[in-house]
Amino acid sequence: MSFMPVILWTDALIFALLAGVLALIWFIRRHDHLRAPWVVVAQRPMAMGAALVLGAFAVTGLLDSLHYRERLPDSQAGKPQYSVEVMSVFDALVSGLRTRQEKTYSGPLAIQLYAMEFVERNGVAVRDYPRLQYGGAHLQHAEERRADIARRTLAGAAQGALASLLLFAGLVAWQARRLKLPVGTWLARWRQGSLNWPARTLVGMMALMLMLGGAMAQLASGYHVLGTDKVGQDVLYISLKSIRTGLVIGTLTTLVTLPLAIGLGIVAGYFRGWVDDVIQYIYTVLNSIPGVLLIAAAVLIVQVYIESNPERFDTAAARADIRLLALCLIMGMTSWTGLARLLRGESLKLRTLDYVEAARAFGVSNARIISRHIFPNVFHLVLIAVVMDFSGLVLAEAVLSYVGVGVDPSMYSWGNMINGARLELAREPAVWWQLGAAFAFMFALVLAANLFADGVRDAFDPRLGGRR
């Protein structure tokens, strides 16, 4: 076998979460009252456009979660040996970005290094900007760069537009056949926006993403689109690899937060009395401790454990992964209190309603009342809080990595990119593109998550009339 599959802890949790989401979708589709608010979400153009962007981020993160180790070429057939470097399917797909490493800094779409060096010309050492080994290596003269960039951008955008037209043609044929309508009638409805879903928004967003992706792919085949960092690694590759870290922080932390917030919040509001007092005491004490100190202490403990037990973590990826998992756990343990307070207050109100009092009078057990009457009526709050807190968790990782208590320094993350850009900004001239790339990718993910959260809130909050 030419490779050995590697399953990291976060990989297993990510795909377990994916399986749970698919099962939840299947369950929702079978119940009309659960499907109704999601139909409202699907009819909102802004929410569906944001969902398309989130889907692109999710696919990138999933491809980067399929890890393996390559077999060494000189290993024996009977006793195969594998590389200690853990790769992913995403690495294989963008191998050109990963392997084309320069000497040091270079600007976006540059063909020369960012700093002057001594180079030998005609037997004389002079200070000049050396040509890059890969960026613009196909050009004979520097004057050709602008025309070549424009040509590649237009060619990539044209390829993306052609791909979007083909997808649109397939969509038209499928929808016309499904609705038993002539193609012209369906196109007329699409232009008028009279369909039951925001087709114009989705088609336009898909076309824009394909054109942008095509232009980036064409440029990346000959240049470093977002420049290179201190060790000459492509910044676009680092930014794309950081997507998985952001998604892991946002999703796995939520898995830890939800059981604590839902369980303790509902129990405190429903039972009241000494149970409520104990739970309130717990999250009041927890809130009084600075979260950064708790996270820093937990990360340091995990780091000491890793260094004391090197045999348990045979690769650098495994060591970085267990630190990432520990960060998710401690962030989840410290971020459940806000949602728990919200659910406690809602449960205090719901337990006094007539149908809950009637169920208690008929001898229905507390567990059944909570599962059948309390939890379904606070589920919209849980869903809204989860979607809206996702962006906050992504930003929290960047802040924690900036202060040095986040993910492992060897792991790709936007926080590490921002942390590394601190000294780069002090250079003369400043190296700004690494910070700019981290900001752009983080801004796109957080903005898409917030827009999607707005659509979910409008559909699930009965006070906003989203169910009508």
Query: What are the tens digits of pLDDT across the range 48-97?
Result: 999 999 999 999 999 999 998 888 877 776 777 878 888 899 998 988 88
Binned at pLDDT 50, 70 and 90, residue 468 comes out as very low
409: part of which helix (H) or strand (E)? none
pLDDT of residue 138: 86
Residue 325 buriedness (CB in 10 A; 0-12 / 13-18 / 19+) = middle
- The average confidence (pLDDT) of the chain is 85
pLDDT of residue 299: 78
Encoded tokens for 449 = 């998550």
CA 203, chain centre distance (Å) = 23
User: What string of DSSP letters covers 386-403?
Assistant: HHHHHHHHHHHHHHHHHT
pLDDT in tens, 95-121: 888 888 888 888 898 888 887 777 777
pLDDT in tens, 335-387: 888 888 889 988 888 888 888 888 888 888 888 888 888 887 887 788 777 87
pLDDT of residue 466: 45
Domain 234-452 CATH class label? mainly alpha
Binned at pLDDT 50, 70 and 90, residue 467 comes out as very low
- Of 49-53, 261-265, 289-293, the least confident: 289-293
Neighbouring residues of 35: CB distance < 8 A, sequence distance ≥ 6: 28, 29
Encoded tokens for 366 = 């507390």
CB of 386 closer than 8 Å to CB of 254: yes
